[in-house]
Amino acid sequence: MVNPNEYTTYHFDSVSRYAPGGLPAVNIGDHLQDGRYEILNKLGQGGYSNVWLARDSRNNCKVSIKTITASDSSNNRELSIMQYLEANSDTQHPGYKHIPRLLDHFYHNGLNGRSLFLVLERLGPTVELVRCQATNWRLDLSLSRQISRQLILAVDYLHDRGIVHGDIHVGNVLFCISDTLQLESDSFEPDAYEVTKYNGGPIDQGVPTHYVDSMWYYQNVCEKLTEVKLVDFSNAFFISDPPATSETIRTQLPPEMLFKKPLSKAIDIWGLACTVS
Q: Of residues 167, 204, 232, 268, which has the active-site annotation? A: 167
Q: Which pLDDT tens digits describe the chain residue by residue (277 residues)?
A: 788 889 986 666 788 899 999 999 999 999 999 999 999 999 999 889 999 999 999 999 999 999 999 999 999 999 999 999 999 999 999 999 999 999 999 999 999 999 999 999 999 999 999 998 887 788 999 999 999 999 999 999 999 999 999 999 999 999 999 989 998 888 888 999 999 999 999 999 999 999 999 998 988 899 999 999 999 999 999 999 999 988 889 889 999 998 999 999 999 999 999 999 8
Inter-residue contact 215 to 41 (CB < 8 Å): yes
Domains of the chain: 4-276 (1.10.510.10)
Per-residue model confidence (pLDDT) at position 56: 98
Per-residue model confidence (pLDDT) at position 11: 61
Q: Report how far apart, in Å, the C-alpha atoms of 212 and of each of 32, 36, 97, 205 are.
A: 18, 21, 30, 18
Is position 72 annotated as part of the catalytic site?
Answer: no
Per-residue model confidence (pLDDT) at position 136: 79
Contacts 24+ apart (CB under 8 A), 126-130: 126/44, 126/170, 126/171, 126/172, 126/173, 126/174, 126/175, 127/170, 127/171, 127/173, 127/174, 127/175, 127/228, 128/170, 128/171, 128/173, 129/216, 129/217, 129/222, 130/175, 130/217, 130/222, 130/225
Per-residue model confidence (pLDDT) at position 66: 98
Sign of the CA dihedral running 9, 14, 15, 16: positive
Per-residue model confidence (pLDDT) at position 31: 98
Per-residue model confidence (pLDDT) at position 10: 61
Model pTM? 0.95
Q: Strand 102-110 and strand 192-194: pairing?
A: unpaired
Return left, alpha or beta for 60; rule: phi > 0 is left, psi -120 to 50 is alpha, else beta.
Answer: left
**In whole angstroms, what is the distance from residue 118 CA to residue 106 CA?**
7
Inter-residue contact 215 to 42 (CB < 8 Å): yes
